[in-house]
Structure 1
């Protein structure tokens, strides 16, 4: 649950921070994964910044890509949609089940 909350927070924060208009959040929960979808009005596709240990901030996309089983971004007729899937953890240590390495 914590990983899902983190991913939702990062995706919605990015939409709020960089898109000029509203955003929509959609969550779908199945037995195998939680699908997160965030739509916003900015057509610019996000890109991860080059690695820089001295950089403060702008790590949201890197975090999302590290904790999600799948991640995709696509342009919509208005704006863009970001989708990510998180597989629930199997153990108390929080290792994601079925994560693609």
Structure 2
């Protein structure tokens, strides 16, 4: 399914908040499209709406969406909605899928091959929440768009 942006998803003028949504029939090819949607959204947030987006935030946002989308492909193939909301300090990424099983992080194990996606997301995000929906689940994370003077993310973070 192509990226789809609707009229109500356009930036609200004068609010300092920009929103965008995309829908996918999730398979492995859609992961790159979802990353591209995030990249374009954040590029527009900076160039068209004056939001500061650090290079670190651009990379982290794409990594997080890639990991979340990979989990959808593996555990809940089918329709997926990606919602983005940016303001002058942060980006909220929300991903809905049809899977009913809630993700759980596993104990760190450097010898384990694969299955580190949720560990990565938890390490780089300021907040993480998951909730059941009448159909499927919704995962919501937040990252900072700003960097502290020494290059780290501004605000509370475990990294």
- The answer to whether the superposition gives a TM-score over 0.5 is yes
| Deviation (angstroms), 1:92 | 7.8
In angstroms, what is the RMSD of aligned CA positions? Answer: 1.5
Where does the alignment leave 5 or more consecutive residues of structure 1 unmatched? none
Q: Which of the numbers 98, 104, 118 marks the counterpart of 1:61?
A: 118
Residue pair 1:38, 1:81 contacting (<8 A) in 2 also: yes
**Looking at both structures, which has the greater relative contact order when contacts are Cα pairs under 8 Å and sequence separation is at least 6?**
1
Cα distance between partner residues in 2 of 1:19 and 1:73 = 15
Secondary structure at the counterpart of residue 10 of structure 1: helix
Q: With structure 1 as the length reference, what TM-score do the two structures score?
A: 0.91
Name the one with the larger helix percent.
2
Partner in structure 2 of residue 47 of structure 1: 104
Q: With structure 2 as the length reference, what TM-score do the two structures score?
A: 0.60
Cα distance between partner residues in 2 of 1:24 and 1:93 = 35
Aligned residue pair count: 101
Secondary structure at the counterpart of residue 73 of structure 2: helix
